[in-house]
Amino acid sequence: MTHAHGVSGLFEPARLGPLRLPNRLVMAPLTRNRAGADGTPTPIMATYYAQRASAGLIIAEASTPNAVGRTYPHIPAIYDQAHVAGWRGVTEAVRERGGRMFLQLQHGGRVGHPDNSGLTPVAPSPIPLPETIHTPSGRQAAVVPREMTLDDIRSTVADFAAAARNARDAGFAGVEVHAANGQLLHQFMAQDTNHRTDGYGGPPAGRVRFVIEVVRAVAEAIGPERVGLRISPEATFNGIDEGDTERIYPALVDALADTGPAYLHIEFADPDQPLYQDLRKRWQGTLIANPALGWGQPLPADGGRLAGERLLAEGADLIALGRAFLANPDLVERLRIGAPLNQVRDRHMMYVGGETGYTDYPTLADACA
């Protein structure tokens, strides 16, 4: 999809449900830990997202739909009116700059700690995270989560639907259901974290059932054209071992065909991977591809532009970039004119503190001033 005169398809307009996007660059959801202790978004978050409003779409960072779903300190939430009011300040700031936002909904499941949420984490099975957890008093061993009952499952599905309505009330154009990176929905899909013997375990159809129920409930709450789903096939974050990746995701995608969410967002997308090619064929809606740029590796000099253009050429509709947007508020313009990019500074600053490493990355205009 690279065109004559060197103009890239990345800068063409696109449609996503009811939204008109000015370009095909999506700011991926990135945990930044700048919310208040109770999960309420802060004014500095409004500044951060407004700085990046030239993205075709911003997907705001993972926000918990209930208290027990909280992962780490200073993660935003979307389950009470203070959260709604805080996020409204963010969406209004982005809209004033001409931007559009979805909110990612994330329940951590076993990725959590009583010192962070005040509650024992819940999960498909009582299998603890094999890693330590960041808490206000430092890293601690993970606790054994409580196995979710059928009532827990039903109430969690309802919490996702309520969170989606709250997100709409806070001014978001839609929500992304997070079923990736070892969080609760991913824990249901993976063999090593789901040892259930009821209808939510066992074969792939059982293990994807909870994800399907969440997506359907959210779609019923705010409309399927305002709902996306994020997946990370083969990702091993947070101790995940799916076991039968090539069976889970086709089952999931096929089961969602009648629900019709606005998009599927595939992390670590590789156009040469057979599973990616298979999912692209099966999925009839918009596909957001997040190129595999090597987590923990330095950002490529082009910020992922070439990888993104290749994914567009192979049938993706939108391209999600994370760290490139984190370090470059004006990423769209920099990529458009081929300007050099800021590199991510101290990675530690991604997750702590205030303005440093957050709202102080310079734009091209700043550099010329």
294 pLDDT tier (thresholds 50, 70, 90):
confident
In this prediction, residues 279-306 reach a mean pLDDT of 91
pLDDT over 90 for what percent of the chain?
Answer: 91
pTM metric for this prediction: 0.96
Neighbours of 349 (CB within 10 A): 16
Residue 77 per-residue DSSP state: B
Provide the domain limits for residue 233. Answer: 4-368
**Residue 267 pLDDT greater than 60, yes or no:** yes
pLDDT per residue as tens digits for the range 18-75: 999 999 999 999 999 999 999 999 999 999 999 999 999 999 999 999 999 999 999 9
**Whole-angstrom Cα distance, residue 216 to residue 106?**
16
| 209-222 helix and 245-255 helix, angle to the nearest 10 degrees | 30
**Residue 362 pLDDT greater than 50, yes or no:** yes
Report the run of H or E that residue 138 belongs to, with start and end: strand 138-141
pLDDT per residue as tens digits for the range 172-216: 999 999 999 999 999 999 999 999 999 999 999 999 999 999 999
CB 189, CB 240: distance < 8 Å: no
CB 170, CB 103: distance < 8 Å: yes
Q: Quote the Cα angle for 35-36-37, to 5°.
A: 120
pLDDT over 70 for what percent of the chain?
Answer: 96
CB 224, CB 257: distance < 8 Å: no
pLDDT per residue as tens digits for the range 106-139: 999 999 999 999 999 999 999 999 999 999 999 9
Q: What is the CATH number of the domain that holds 51?
A: 3.20.20.70
- Cα–Cα separations (whole angstroms), residue 136 to 33, 114, 123, 241, 354: 12, 11, 22, 28, 16
CB 112, CB 71: distance < 8 Å: yes
**Whole-angstrom Cα distance, residue 118 to residue 77?**
15
**Whole-angstrom Cα distance, residue 75 to residue 259?**
29
**Three-class HEC string of 113-132:** CHHHHCCCCEECCCCCCCCE
Domain count, the chain: 1
Beta-bridged to residue 25, according to DSSP, are 319
